[in-house]
Amino acid sequence: GESVGLHLPTLSVQEGDNSIINCAYSNSASDYFIWYKQESGKGPQFIIDIRSNMDKRQGQRVTVLLNKTVKHLSLQIAATQPGDSAVYFCAERRAGTYKYIFGTGTRLKVLA
């Protein structure tokens, strides 16, 4: 399948530890943000989203934090598992547009 993340920043974490993946977004007018997980050869899979009127949102084992002051988004994965190994992308949607702008991605490697 397609190899993604060949030149992407890599985060290596021990199985069972918590992972934090960071993303800086570009436009202060962005009002909606998404985190995706992409496994090799597959399309990105939706993980969690957050609107700009929130600063935190929790899902199952995942939490997204939004800091609008510094235009920073983070994804926290609790108790990281081998199946979490993938490339993670953040995306921002500019208010009033239909377009989504993607970050460059981070490869997460889970060490047994």
Partner 1 sequence: SQTIHQWPATLVQPVGSPLSLECTVEGTSNPNLYWYRQAAGRGLQLLFYSVGIGQISSEVPQNLSASRPQDRQFILSSKKLLLSDSGFYLCAWKASGVTDTQYFGPGTRLTVL
Q: Which residues bind partner 1 (CB under 8 A)?
A: 1-8, 32, 34, 36, 41-46, 49, 51, 89, 91, 93, 98-105
Nearest-angstrom CA–CA distance, 93 and 85 = 26
- C-beta of 1: minimal distance to partner 1 in Å? 7
Nearest-angstrom CA–CA distance, 21 and 38 = 14
- C-beta of 103: minimal distance to partner 1 in Å? 6
Nearest-angstrom CA–CA distance, 56 and 79 = 19
Indicate the residue among 43 and 83 with the shorter CB distance to partner 1.
43
Indicate the residue among 98 and 112 with the shorter CB distance to partner 1.
98
Indicate the residue among 16 and 59 with the shorter CB distance to partner 1.
59
105: nearest Cα among 91, 92, 85: 91
